[in-house]
Amino acid sequence: MENKENLILGGMGVMFLWLAILSYSVFSDGASANTIAEAQALSNPSVAATPSAINPNGQPAIKPTNTNTQPQQPTQQPEVDPAKAATLVLEEQEFDFGTLEEGEKVEHIFKFTNTSNNPLTISNARGSCGCTVPEWPKEPIAPGEKGEIKVKFDSKGKKGVQSKTVTLTANTIPGNTTLTIKSDVIKLDDEGEKEANPTK
């Protein structure tokens, strides 16, 4: 009788052990990796801050905010073949119109020379705003020849110190060249004139 009870108890112990092993394997294999990762994240803040720890599929659930991981914007410098590149030498790259009355329209001519052995081609000239309009030679400038770029500035709607740019794109290295115009725009009105010249 005692042996029979021992056999039953032994059998129950083996069954319990087998059930424990089976339960462990089911939970460990069938449990979601996300659930495990989330449980780890809750217990460890440093893991919670790591997006890859939350999503094991290689795709972070949260986009990284570190600017070092973000792709850098390419510079807008056109590629120029050094064998065909020209050299644009300006007499000046900056001009100050001084003080202008609001609404006044002015222009300035920037002169340049092609000092290379290749023809100089200016493919585009772009003002930094609609108030700044450039005019440039559309035909190639031969080696040793001079050229002009006219920049018009409309001060309408402007007030205070102004600094505008014109970006030239040509077969030069670097491909972009910047011209700058400056001015101090003042606005005259009846009240301003009365304040400046009060009547007795």
User: Are residues 169 and 78 in contact, defined by beta-carbon separation less than 8 angstroms?
Assistant: yes
Does position 116 have pLDDT exceeding 70, yes or no? yes
Distance, in Å, from the CA atom of 146 to the CA atom of 119, rounded to the nearest integer, reads 11
Q: Which CATH superfamily hosts domain 82-190?
A: Immunoglobulins (2.60.40.10)
User: Are residues 154 and 131 in contact, defined by beta-carbon separation less than 8 angstroms?
Assistant: yes
Domain boundaries, the chain: 2-69, 82-190
- Say whether the peptide bond before residue 174 is cis (omega within 30 degrees of 0): yes
Pairing of strands 132-135, 146-154: antiparallel
Distance, in Å, from the CA atom of 99 to the CA atom of 110, rounded to the nearest integer, reads 20
Q: Is 76 helix (H, G, I), strand (E, B) or coil?
A: coil
* pLDDT one-digit tens code per residue, 79-106: 888 989 999 999 999 999 999 999 999 9
* pLDDT one-digit tens code per residue, 12-49: 767 777 677 766 655 555 444 444 445 454 445 444 44
Q: Is the pTM of this model over 0.75?
A: no
